[in-house]
Structure 1
Amino acid sequence: MPSALPLGDPVPTDGRFPPEVIQALPARADKPFGLYVHIPFCSVRCGYCDFNTYTAADLGPGASHQSYPETVMAELEFARETLDDAGAPDRALSTVFFGGGTPTLLPAGELARILHRVHELFGFAPDTEVTTEANPDTVTPESAQILAEAGFTRLSLGMQSAVPHVLRTLDRTHDPENVPAAHAAAQAAGLETSLDLIYGTPGESLQDWSRSLESAIALRPDHISAYSLIVEPGTAMAAQIRRGELPDIDPDDQADKYVMTDQMAQAAGYEWYEVSNFARGGNKRSQHNLNYWQDSDWWGAGPGAHSHLAGMRWWNVKHPAPYAQRVQQGISPGHGRELLDAEATVLEYLMLRLRIVDGLDVAEFNTLPQLGQSESSPITQELLRQLTEEGLAEASAAQPSEYYPEGRIVLTLQGRLLADAVTRRLVT
């Protein structure tokens, strides 16, 4: 089942932002603004997945594939009105991301219709990146062409693995042979491509993972995401491991596979730019995901979708039926929200900046207004020296420069493997 929503303060039915956020909005005018559109449908629920997704049998009355486009467009209209009422700066969208679930379970024409309404309501900045995730079995040359003509620029294919027994363990139902076919269809339509992979599945050998990487790299996508499998409580896979039907996750095995990923990707011309993401050049990075990692703003539309604006997070009700009911009543589908306090702001700054290749600007961190209100201390040159001597941070980036007078912390390969431990050292 999908994971539980976090606790938080209730969202008012009119969606109005608190005064602190309204006051902070003008200063966010230069920040990128993105939109996430959640499509919560899957044909089959994978055993490892705790995302907010539903099969047709899970939906019940009040929600359906057919009615969903109108429902989510109604929330987008609500979002436009709420932002205008708050006096939010008029920011055209820099990125749009359709995620799921499996967005391409909706007909390509319906995705195009939603995107057209997005453009009418918010406008697009120059070179707006527009991505949709897709199951390889749901992409055809015809659907890829419809998406490209509608304004989509990027297709992210859920490949996960090239090895049949690994896909079976993950409960993935797509045919591995359809990955190159879907990828070719996307490229022929002029779409940039990304392949999503998962490593560390129970029973997956190093040879299996190498085969998956080789298969992905051979297609020459623009971008590769490689995520370690996390077994979430309450999933079918967690129950299988608990019953002894599957071996538990081995962190050492996952570390070995991450090192293999980094080596093979870089040898093939892919650069790491975030711990789990590799791109063929800087202009092929996922700009939408960079928005998340660089403290930008985004609106999340759809059941269970999360949003962030000027230091406030909020999230929608989970199930598509009550979500649809609220939207149809003209009230906020928001379930809860929270304003980030100083501790949370400092911790998130550290965690997110350390994940990306640009790293953490030490001088910028040391002058964060929230730092003095938290229990964390400024980063000293002595601590920076220790991290470089231990091989956790790049020595060249740590050197003071014109643009970074106190240097940066850019994690080495070893540092990326121990990113959580490095973060803990920096917040003590």
Structure 2
Amino acid sequence: MAGPLPLGDPAPRDGRLPADLPVDPAVPFSAYLHVPFCRVRCGYCDFNTYTAGELRGARQEDYASTLLTEIEMARRVLGDAGALRPMDTVFFGGGTPTLLPAGDLARMLDAAASAFGLVSGAEVTVEANPDTVTPDVARTLADAGVTRLSIGMQSAVPHVLAALDRTHRPENVRTAVDAAREAGLDVSVDLIYGAPGESLSDWESSVDAALALESDHISAYALIIEDGTKLARQIRRGEVPRPDDDLQADMYELVDARLADAGFDWYEVSNWARTPEQRSRHNLAYWRGSDWWGFGPGAHSHVAGLRWWNVKHPAAYAQRLAAGESPAAGTERPDAEARILERVLLQSRLAEGIPVSELPSDNRANVAGLIADGLVDAPAAVRGQVRLTLRGRLLADAVVRELTD
């Protein structure tokens, strides 16, 4: 299970939004639907997910109906606030959304589309474990309006998958991709690098295997050790080594070069797409500060600068909604300074970068030093835009500190 939720301020029981909320109807709106179920807990995972033995009073088979109650509440709340807009993107995340019957996911999508509407050409993504995708599942999702499947490949090397506690069979990634393609879905695959015992050669094999799938989009994330996870405990006890920063940097350079050679462009530090149209529009909505409602236990939402988050456990989530109350556990409204810092943190990770004019005024002079260190692209900076170089992407956190501290 994930770490503790932020403290924040108490959330109103009826879920209402503040009367003075400056809603801009031109800002795109998205929906995130959290499915908090997994067959097993991966040792590195810090997401708000639950195995069957951890549900304690919640029933997986009731989940779709429970979430539909929050959708109806959101329709009322957003309508009352003048913030009701059709969805540009929808994302089913988890957990493992495809542990639910595909018909349940279809019902959830239909309810959201009925409540808010979908813009023409909306992107609708479902995350999936490769072992849970069959031709029937893919067809049901496509028929329901899903446009994109994001498959958790992570690695093509068995001992690396074992180190990550991933249980899927490597060959089922190809099966899942083929099923998605046959149903007319776009395909993205996710990779993780830096697992205990993973060599540069292992990583190269996984990148080449991902490219052989001919997917539209590839995400590659460095393994991060989160407090409270099984992997963090193993490292603390000395049972496995901590990820090597230099090796992870070599792995990043390898995947970036391999993907560039294959015709992919990076558009965010950890994400590459074949064409601009195949970028994850949902994730771009987060990075660009659009509005979204997060449905499900532990899900976070953002509308017009207001943020809130739901209670974590599925049982508590269901109890709140059954009582006619909002499942929100807390809320916050960051001030102007905090919003600027957040924008720098997120926007600077994009290939498009961030305008120098949007940096905190006291930090703009630091751009020259970042150029001298090879972290920021000089020609782009001359045009007024801070864009990371390859070296800058490797040291993105350090760049953000220079631009914000």
The question of a shared fold, defined as TM-score above 0.5 by the shorter chain, is answered with yes
Contact 2:367 2:403 survives alignment (8 Å): no
Q: Is structure 2 residue 114 aligned with structure 1 residue 131? A: no
**Residues 104-160 of structure 1: CA distance to partner in whole angstroms, max 9, x if unpaired?**
001111111111111110100111000000000000011101101110000000000
Contact 2:306 2:334 survives alignment (8 Å): yes
The secondary structure found in structure 2 opposite 1:48 is: coil
Deviation of 1:234 after TM superposition, in Å, equals 0.8
**Residues 333-389 of structure 1: CA distance to partner in whole angstroms, max 9, x if unpaired?**
0001110112311111111111001100123x15xxxx5xxxx52624xx4333223
Deviation of 1:250 after TM superposition, in Å, equals 1.3
Cα distance in structure 1, aligned partners of 2:211 and 2:43: 26
Cα distance in structure 1, aligned partners of 2:404 and 2:219: 28
Q: 1:379 maps to what in 2?
A: 364
Q: 2:392 maps to what in 1?
A: 415
Cα distance in structure 1, aligned partners of 2:390 and 2:382: 19
Q: 2:15 maps to what in 1?
A: 15
Q: 1:98 maps to what in 2?
A: 92
Q: 2:282 maps to what in 1?
A: 288
Q: 1:388 maps to what in 2?
A: 371
**Residues 281-301 of structure 1: CA distance to partner in whole angstroms, max 9, x if unpaired?**
100000000000001000000
The secondary structure found in structure 2 opposite 1:10 is: coil
The secondary structure found in structure 1 opposite 2:76 is: helix
- Structure 1 segments (4+ residues) deviating >6 Å: none
Deviation of 1:248 after TM superposition, in Å, equals 1.1
Identity of aligned residues (%): 58
Q: Return the match for 1:191 from 185, 189, 194.
A: 185
Q: Return the match for 2:305 from 305, 311, 314.
A: 311
Q: Unaligned 5+ residue runs, structure 2? A: none
Q: Return the match for 1:321 from 304, 315, 324.
A: 315
Q: TM-score, normalised by structure 1?
A: 0.93
The secondary structure found in structure 1 opposite 2:6 is: coil
Aligned-pair Cα RMSD in Å = 1.2
Q: Unaligned 5+ residue runs, structure 1? A: 401-406
Q: Is structure 2 residue 86 aligned with structure 1 residue 74? A: no
Q: Is structure 2 residue 228 aligned with structure 1 residue 214? A: no
Q: 2:55 maps to what in 1?
A: 59
Q: TM-score, normalised by structure 2?
A: 0.98
The secondary structure found in structure 2 opposite 1:8 is: coil
Cα distance in structure 1, aligned partners of 2:42 and 2:394: 27
Cα distance in structure 1, aligned partners of 2:343 and 2:3: 25
| Bigger shift: residues 150-159 or 113-122 | 113-122
Q: Is structure 2 residue 5 aligned with structure 1 residue 5? A: yes
Q: 2:404 maps to what in 1?
A: 427
Cα distance in structure 1, aligned partners of 2:394 and 2:2: 28
Q: Mapping of 1:255-274 within 5 angstroms?
A: 255-274=249-268
Contact 2:296 2:317 survives alignment (8 Å): yes
AA partner of residue 279 (structure 2): R
Deviation of 1:30 after TM superposition, in Å, equals 1.1
Q: 1:29 maps to what in 2?
A: 25
Cα distance in structure 1, aligned partners of 2:336 and 2:115: 34
Aligned pairs, number = 405
Q: 1:86 maps to what in 2?
A: 81
The secondary structure found in structure 2 opposite 1:198 is: strand
The secondary structure found in structure 1 opposite 2:61 is: coil
Q: Is structure 2 residue 339 aligned with structure 1 residue 356? A: no
Q: 1:236 maps to what in 2?
A: 230
Cα distance in structure 1, aligned partners of 2:127 and 2:42: 16
Cα distance in structure 2, aligned partners of 1:110 and 1:167: 29
Q: 2:107 maps to what in 1?
A: 113
Cα distance in structure 2, aligned partners of 1:269 and 1:177: 24
Cα distance in structure 2, aligned partners of 1:119 and 1:233: 37
Cα distance in structure 1, aligned partners of 2:401 and 2:20: 29
The secondary structure found in structure 2 opposite 1:182 is: helix
